[in-house]
Amino acid sequence: MKRGNPRKSPEDRHPLLDQLSQLWRNKTAVAGLIIVAGFVFAAFLAPVLSPHDPVETSLYDQLKPPVWADGGAKKNILGTDDLGRDILSRIIYGARVSLIVAVVSVGLAFVLGTLLGSFSGYYKGSLDNVIMRIMDIILAFPYLLLAIVVVAYLGPSLQNAMMAIGITYVPRFARIVRGSVLEECEKDYVMAARAVGARDWRIIFIAILPNCLGPLIVQTTLSFASAILDAAALSFLGLGAQPPTPEWGAMIARSRALILRASWVMTFPGIAILLAVLGFNLLGDGLRDALDPRLRD
């Protein structure tokens, strides 16, 4: 299928791409991108990268210190925990768990929030009122509390933690999408689409939403950061990942009893969380500067 498609003129490029190309000039964003890339790389290639099985216990290798400390060995670079499991391998596999949690919970919030927000902004009136009041009520709960309570009712598991985090993040997406849709609805192209008789869902999803992508991308990136943090907190409290899942928050919880004897068991998973969250925050900040200057705080 050949269509006359001569060299694309610069005007044909999506404006989003132009804005994204500015991202390269932002040093913090590039730093964030590198960290995030490393994190995703570790998550995908965990079986290749990790030197040991993350859940395999080894009676003879309990609480081995990291390689640079006295008694450390090359076999376990970051040492082992109280069951002799290799900490480096558990951290690499932990990236996988965190990435899945972030993708699923933010994905859930993204889909629900975008749907609710666009209906709210497009149909306005009482539907808008009802949806936004419900969002306000969800926001009336302190951030982590609602997630903890939802998991308390559903029962502790990683799945329920993802669901709880997803639910608490719906309002942020709904609000942003609603605001953008309200703004876009005033523009001529929406009226033109209506005039040619396009259906509502087509106007919303094909015509309007692509123009609201900027703020959505920013919010998604920043939500990845907080989802990783919240999931680790839930797992730390014993409400998320259950043993022997290699999850960073759960690893820290387990290390509490060993805090004096083996501080490395606690140190490295914390640094892993901090780095992963920092990466997404840096990237999100950079994206915000590039895509949506209005949102700068």
Partner 1 sequence: MLAYFARRILVLIPTLLGISIIVFLMLRITPGDPAELLLGERATEEALQEIREHLGLNEPLHVQYGMFLKRLMKGDLGETIWSRQKVWIEVKERFPATIELSVTALFISCFFGIIFGIISATRQYSIFDYLSMLGALIGVSMPIFWLGLVFMLIFSLHLGWLPLSGRLSVGIDLEVITNFYILDSVLTKNWTALKDALWHIIMPAVTLSTIPMAIVARMTRSAMLEVLRQDYIKTAKAKGLSQFIVTFKHALRNALIPVVTTIGLQFGVALGGAILTETIFAWPGVGKWMFDAVMKRDYMVIQGGTLFIAALFVVINLVVDMLYAVINPRITVQ
Name the residues that contact partner 1, by CB under 8 A.
28, 133-134, 136-138, 140-145, 148-154, 225, 229, 232-233, 236-239, 249, 252, 255-256, 259-260, 263, 266-267, 269-270, 273-274, 277-278, 281-282, 285, 296-297
Helix (H) or strand (E) holding 132: helix 125-139
With respect to partner 1, which residue has the nearer C-beta, 190 or 282?
A: 282
Q: Residue 232 Cβ, how far from partner 1 at the closest point, in Å?
A: 6
With respect to partner 1, which residue has the nearer C-beta, 204 or 269?
A: 269
Q: Which residues contact 69 (CB under 8 A, 6 or more apart)?
A: 79, 264
Structure tokens at 94: 């932990």
Q: Residue 243 Cβ, how far from partner 1 at the closest point, in Å?
A: 16
Give the span between the Cα atoms of 170 and 139, in whole angstroms. 10
CB atoms within 10 A of CB 15: 11
Q: Which residues contact 253 (CB under 8 A, 6 or more apart)?
A: 235, 236, 237, 238
Q: How far are the Cα atoms of 15, 21, 207, 290 from residue 11, in angstroms, in the given order?
A: 8, 15, 19, 19
With respect to partner 1, which residue has the nearer C-beta, 121 or 249?
A: 249
Q: Residue 115 Cβ, how far from partner 1 at the closest point, in Å?
A: 20
Sign of torsion, CA 66 67 73 76? positive
Q: Residue 203 Cβ, how far from partner 1 at the closest point, in Å?
A: 31
Structure tokens at 75: 């076999």
Nearest alpha-carbon partner for 52 in 23, 73, 32: 73
Give the span between the Cα atoms of 104 and 96, in whole angstroms. 12
Q: Residue 131 Cβ, how far from partner 1 at the closest point, in Å?
A: 13
Q: Residue 167 Cβ, how far from partner 1 at the closest point, in Å?
A: 11
- AA identity, residue 65: P
With respect to partner 1, which residue has the nearer C-beta, 75 or 256?
A: 256
Structure tokens at 124: 């306005």
Instruction: With beta carbons less than 8 A apart as the criterion, state whether 42 and 50 touch.
Output: no
With respect to partner 1, which residue has the nearer C-beta, 195 or 260?
A: 260
With respect to partner 1, which residue has the nearer C-beta, 61 or 285?
A: 285
Q: Residue 210 Cβ, how far from partner 1 at the closest point, in Å?
A: 29
With respect to partner 1, which residue has the nearer C-beta, 123 or 141?
A: 141
Q: Residue 245 Cβ, how far from partner 1 at the closest point, in Å?
A: 17
Structure tokens at 215: 């703020």
With respect to partner 1, which residue has the nearer C-beta, 193 or 281?
A: 281
Query: What does the DSSP 8-state code read for residue 81?
Result: -
